[in-house]
Chains A and B, each alone.
Chain A
């Protein structure tokens, strides 16, 4: 029993994580906070390791299949050749251009779509009359499949940045509008009446009661909108672009560069996850401020 205990202590004191409570105790902070401290990092490390298991397994399996000869290399490149394709594009200076222009289109379109979506959702969500006026039309527009807009936007705005940003904005608009408008309509009527009875109305009431109440809905709608923005970006770039990740996909397909195809798909995954992570940070900040 005693040997077991000493062993545990010696093992634990060897880890840097557990040294912290000792230091904190010396300063005199209460024990619960000190013993609570090491937990989050440990959980974080575990989550990272567990989260990396499947990607690593996939890469290993991929490498095994690609080198086994079961699938010809023009159908399945090795992970290393995908990496090499990336390095090659990077060294020629075009990888950065493709990524930068696509990211710029997504961020611009997402920003415009989200702002217009929030504005229209506020009007439709707060005024019954505006809802009767706008909701049927917007519902019908939402039913139009995304790609149907591409030829029209190309004709009106030209096959340039404007038409692609506009397409991304359309993609980002609808998740925000369709989530936030009903959320605003269903804000606790008691709290709205409270605000009114204390003299708040219009924009002041909006910022006191309604907007904070729909913060969680706004955030989840922004996450959806961002995913839609990437979707619409690739749709737009597939159908007419000379730069960008969607263009790289078409170009690689036409030239049989399957390594670049894999590279682009992986890049889209990483970029999508990265921007989603940025919204996740915003979410943590906003929920800390406005969460109940």
Chain B
């Protein structure tokens, strides 16, 4: 019911993301080096890589929170220059305003400047979608970490984003909550078909959610450990919802973990 009412209300279409030769340096330290990536509209792409490899930096650039020292990014064919209303970001920490109710926190995500008559209905529908209707009046300190991340997701969706950017959104949650949040995210993607770019440390999460998994890291480790670009791209087979225990995924999982420098002792079936 809630998902249909969301679709009725002029949901923005998913938008493509084109990253071309993106570079970012902080002083002498090169974080991203001539990175190029095409993301199709409606696709779910997971960015994984070791800590400090520039995953979050890349995500912040797509959202316009940071500006590159070289190269360009376009969303839906038009370049990103500064903060962009077409994308919405959910951070690793929920970042809820502690003095506002859950409802008010979701309202923060509504597009600025053009208040619509159905805003109230939309916020209510989003809260129902993330299963928080009965907690709408509570303050952030009164809810759990998983609930807070659901509020953060609802707030991002309130913007009707063409591109949803998620920066390790489930990283701080316990293992079981994380699994149910992954399923919730797929439900949200079905209800609000935005392009999703998700940064994660969790290989299983990447394989369960994404159409493609992008492994970031230093190409030439000897030369400059921090200098990161795309090391490999894994296209995940099968349609969602995927079997978490599938053998195909186990192969890919081993491949990605080896890429991250973690020996898996996996005996290849080949």
- The interface of chain A, by Cβ under 8 A from chain B, is 190-191, 193-200, 204, 208-209, 212-213, 215, 289-292
Contacts and interface: CB of A to CB of B under 8 A. Distances in A.
Given A191-B97, A290-B99, A198 B109 contact: yes
A192 to B, nearest CB: 10
Describe A's contact surface by its main secondary structure.
helix
Q: Could you say which of B63, B89, B108, B141 has the most chain A C-beta atoms within 10 Å of its C-beta?
A: B108
10 contacts: A190-B91, A195-B108, A197-B63, A197-B89, A198-B112, A198-B159, A200-B108, A200-B112, A208-B108, A289-B99
B85 A292 contact: no
Contacts of B65: 193, 196-197
Contact of A198 (B98, B99, B108): B108
Contacts of B108: 194-195, 198, 200, 208
A292 B99 contact: yes
B178 interface: no
A198 B95 CA distance: 12
Nearest to B85: A199
Contacts of A191: 95, 97
Nearest to A191: B95
B45 to A, nearest CB: 20
Contact of B141 (A198, A204, A292): A292
A213 to B, nearest CB: 8
Nearest to A215: B99
B204 interface: no
A199 B83 contact: yes
Interface in B77-111: 83, 85, 88-89, 91, 93, 95, 97-100, 108-109, 111
Contact of B139 (A198, A199, A204, A292): A292
Given A193-B65, A199-B112, A292-B139, A212 B97 contact: yes
Contacts of A200: 108, 112
Contacts of A195: 108
Contacts of B169: none
B140 interface: yes
Given A199-B111, A199-B112, A292-B139, A194 B95 contact: yes
Given A198-B108, A292-B139, A292-B140, A190 B99 contact: no
Nearest to A196: B83
B248 to A, nearest CB: 37
Nearest to B158: A198
B76 to A, nearest CB: 18
A190 B140 CA distance: 15
